[in-house]
Structure formats: structure tokens, C-alpha cells
């Protein structure tokens, strides 16, 4: 490799002279757990039985708590973009631990501000935490449905007239497009 190319590559993985070291084992475990999460959700949708999903969520939440204690928020610098997405997914589904979800939200805010996580992830987790607290969501990402799955409804949104403006600021598609996608149209 020519010397100039080496310097360019090295500059891509350094931050003020500190070499980022991606934790491949942690990224692989995030991937494994995210796959389990999604498989449990597919099973719950098919059988209308969420017990396995709740069990997986509880295990993933306990594990992610340990990860955060040891490393802080597992952002892209630590686990790559896919790993960061998967960490967000586990936090998003930590509904049985609302205090932990709020803690994860604060860490995610800092990660987004540092460029280590996606604003889209922040929008979804913000709404999830607000809806769980009985408050209107900000970005219109959270829906609910009847127990039989027959009636999908957007959870209440604060200041709906400016919803698309807020969504655009976080890199989200317009609310009408998202609504159609959520409804399978």
C-alpha cells in the first residue's frame, strides 16, 4: 500500500490520535441477540403468544445493562454501525424496564451528539419512552393495535402540525409515508 493511502486509512480510524478499537466479540453478541429478538417477535406475531418475546427481552435487557456498565453506550466506534443499530434495538425493546430505557435514552442522546449513533435511533427511543410514560410522542414512530391485531393506531403526538418538520430533522420519512408503510400499503 502506498504511504499516502496508509495515512488516509489510519486517519479514518483515529480520533485526535487515539486509535478506535472495535470490539468484534461484542458486535457479534449484539448481532446474535438482535436476531433472537426479531425471531421472537415473528413468533409472537404468528402465534399471538408473547411469552418467548418477553423472556428474550428480559435477558437482552439484563445483558445490555451489563454492557452499558462496562463500556457506556455501544455506539458505532465500539461495535460498528450495525452493532450500534442492534444495541438500539435491544434498548427499544426493553419495555419491561422503563427506568433502564430512560437511562439508555440519555446515553443515546450523548452518543448522537458525539456522532456515534443515529438521530433516527434517538427519535424512536424518545417516542418509546414518552409513550410508556403516558405522554404524547414527538416523532410519531409508535403505534398500538388491538389485541387481535385488527386496528393499528398511531399513539398521540405532540404538536402534530410540526410533526414532519421534526421527523425530517431526525432523518425520518414524512409521517404519511411512514403510516402507509406501517399499515402495509
Q: Checking DSSP bridges between strand 143-145 and strand 18-19, what pairing results, if any?
A: unpaired
- Torsion sign (Cα): 141, 145, 149, 151: negative
Residue 14 maps to a domain = no
Q: What φ, ψ does residue 18 adopt, rounded to 5°? A: -100, 125
Residue 182 maps to a domain = yes
pLDDT at 10 over 90: no
Domains identified in the chain, total number? 2
89 with 132, same domain: the answer is no
Q: DSSP alpha helices (H): ranges in the chain?
A: 3-12, 24-47, 51-71, 76-92, 98-113, 119-132, 163-169, 175-182
49 with 92, same domain: the answer is yes
Look-up: residue for cell 402534530? 160
DSSP state of 161: G
Residue 3 maps to a domain = no
78 with 122, same domain: the answer is no
Residue 141 maps to a domain = yes
- What domain range includes position 80? 20-97
- pLDDT tens profile 76-123: 999 999 999 999 999 999 999 999 999 999 999 999 999 999 999 999
pLDDT at 146 over 60: yes
Give me the pLDDT at residue 176, please.
Answer: 97
70 with 126, same domain: the answer is no
The reported pTM is 0.86
Give me the pLDDT at residue 149, please.
Answer: 67
125 with 175, same domain: the answer is yes
d(CA 72, CA 87): 11
24 with 89, same domain: the answer is yes
Do residues 138 and 128 lie in contact, with contact meaning Cβ atoms separated by under 8 Å?
A: no
Q: Which residues contact 44 (CB under 8 A, 6 or more apart)?
A: 50, 52, 53
Which is nearest to 64 in space by CA: 76, 73, 55? 73
Amino acid at each position: 500500500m502506498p504511504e499516502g493511502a496508509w495515512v488516509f486509512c489510519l486517519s479514518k480510524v483515529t480520533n485526535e490520535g487515539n486509535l478506535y478499537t472495535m470490539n468484534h466479540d461484542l458486535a457479534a453478541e449484539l448481532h446474535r441477540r438482535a436476531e433472537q429478538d426479531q425471531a421472537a417477535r415473528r413468533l409472537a406475531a404468528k402465534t399471538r403468544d408473547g411469552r418467548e418475546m418477553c423472556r428474550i427481552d428480559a435477558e437482552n435487557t439484563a445483558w445490555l445493562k451489563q454492557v452499558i456498565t462496562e463500556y457506556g453506550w455501544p455506539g458505532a466506534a465500539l461495535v460498528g454501525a450495525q452493532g450500534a443499530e442492534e444495541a438500539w434495538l435491544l434498548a427499544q425493546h426493553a419495555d419491561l424496564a422503563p427506568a433502564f430505557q430512560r437511562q439508555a435514552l440519555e446515553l443515546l442522546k450523548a452518543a448522537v451528539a458525539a456522532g456515534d449513533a443515529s438521530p433516527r435511533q434517538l427519535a424512536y427511543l424518545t417516542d418509546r419512552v414518552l409513550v410508556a410514560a403516558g405522554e404524547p410522542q414527538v416523532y410519531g414512530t409508535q403505534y398500538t393495535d388491538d389485541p387481535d391485531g385488527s386496528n393499528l393506531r398511531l399513539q398521540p403526538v405532540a404538536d402534530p402540525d410540526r410533526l414532519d418538520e421534526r421527523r425530517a430533522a431526525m432523518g425520518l420519512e414524512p409521517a404519511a409515508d411512514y403510516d402507509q408503510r406501517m399499515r402495509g400499503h
